[in-house]
Amino acid sequence: MENGSQSRIKTMSAAPKGDTTPKGTNIVWHDASVDRQGRASQRGHRSAILWFTGLSGSGKSTLANAVNAALFEQGIATYVLDGDNIRHGLCKDLGFSDADREENIRRIGEVAKLFLDAGIIVLTAFVSPFRADRDKARGLVEAGDFIEIHCAADLSICEERDTKGLYAKARAGEIKDFTGISSPYEAPESPELNINTGNQDLESCVNVVIKQLQDQQLIPAPHPPVS
């Protein structure tokens, strides 16, 4: 019992990754009484950040929520952080300038990191157009904890969908700094998954993501049928 407790404390005492120099002074990092490994053992699966990125209309939220539902059915602890939803609360003070987009993703990266430590598979659905911002989010966690999923639908398909009417407004000059029209989108150079969400059906896309989680041994693989 004593050895196990000491091992757990040693694990929890590791310094957090990323920028650990806060503006405030006279603050000290406090280790939690239960660590991430303990939560994984209790739940029967590991945690991870699934970072869905792509143009507006590429299917990020649709795919993230479909994967979320599939994992929920397997008893996996999950949560979806959706771009529009976050801007109704945590990031309601931010607009869509480059600086605001950077701060938006910085906040999401930190929140996703908290979910990771809580033993939850967190699915983030954000345009997150700038490669450097996504790389900073990845840099907050250990290798293997961050799975970048590029929803690689062509701009023409995204415009055809235009479920919110945003592209039409951007083309008309009614929306400034709109990704893909008046603001750039920097596609991932080497994401863990590159899924053609423009032409591939939703079920197939979900299966690709689930297989990635199984291959990385984040969630249990399905049991073979009993003969």
Q: CA angle 168-172-175, nearest 5°?
A: 80
CB 180 within 8 A of CB 151: no
CB 188 within 8 A of CB 146: no
CB 187 within 8 A of CB 150: yes
Q: Which of 47, 56, 61, 128 is catalytic?
A: 128
Compute the distance between CA of residue 33 and CA of residue 221 in angstroms, rounded to an integer: 30
Contacts of 42 (CB under 8 A, 6+ apart): 119
> Which residue's entry shows tokens 């991932």?
188
Compute the distance between CA of residue 120 and CA of residue 118 in angstroms, rounded to an integer: 6
From 4, 61, 3, select the one nearest 34 (Cα to Cα).
4
* Residues listed for the chain: 227
Helix, strand, coil fractions of the chain, as percent rounded to 5: 40, 10, 45
Residue 183 falls in the annotated catalytic set = no
**Active site residue ranges:** 128
